[in-house]
Amino acid sequence: MTPLFLLPLAAAVAATPAPLSLETKVLAETRVAAADGTTRIALVAPRRIVPGDQVVVQVVYRNAGRQPIDGLVIANPLPQGLAYRDAGAASAAPELSVDGRTFGTLATLRVPVAAGGTRPAGVGDVTHVRWRVPNPVAAGSSGQFAFRAIVR
């Protein structure tokens, strides 16, 4: 074989789409008055977002490949401007981190203070969220996670 044959092959390998497709969406929580007088929370496109508004960040994954996927970990650093609130409805609770290195429940996290020492972390200190999918994701199957956040 000549190197000439290798080149297109290498290009083909690099161009192979990743078996996992991952999509995030940010939706705004809006109060919608129903006909019976109650109010329900609807998720709408983030057209009008001002500080203090509540948004839901959704992460949808799908195994688009032909092989099962093992050990799936989805990490979502919180963007500047969002403060973590809680796990989204019908979503597994994420592991939280205040530094991007140590993950756990909020009660286990501590934040250093300027005067020295640490204090217990609050939801506003969360900088990263992470979900670990315990079971293999079969080819063609999908799932989604979500968390709620407040616009700072």
Q: Contact, 85 vs 152, CB < 8 A?
A: no
What CA–CA distance (Å, rounded) separates 132 from 95? 8
Residue number with CB closer to another protein (69 or 109): 69
Residue number with CB closer to another protein (67 or 108): 67
Residue ranges in contact with another protein by CB under 8 A: 18-26, 28, 45-52, 55, 57, 59, 61, 65, 67-77, 79-83, 124-125, 127, 137, 151-152
Residue number with CB closer to another protein (3 or 71): 71
Strand partners, 29: 43
Measured from the CB of residue 130, what is the shortest distance to another protein in angstroms? 9
3-state DSSP assignment of residue 125:
helix
Q: Contact, 123 vs 53, CB < 8 A?
A: no
Q: In what order do the strands lie in the sheet with 82-87?
A: 39-44, 20-33, 54-63, 142-151, 82-87
Measured from the CB of residue 2, what is the shortest distance to another protein in angstroms? 28
Measured from the CB of residue 4, what is the shortest distance to another protein in angstroms? 27
Q: Which residue's entry shows tokens 């700072």?
A: 152
Residue number with CB closer to another protein (34 or 114): 114
Measured from the CB of residue 28, what is the shortest distance to another protein in angstroms? 8
Measured from the CB of residue 61, what is the shortest distance to another protein in angstroms? 6
Residue number with CB closer to another protein (38 or 79): 79
Let me know the angle formed at the C-alpha of 106 by 25 and 101, rounded to the nearest 5 degrees. Answer: 75
How far from each other are the two terminal CA atoms of the chain, in whole angstroms? 59
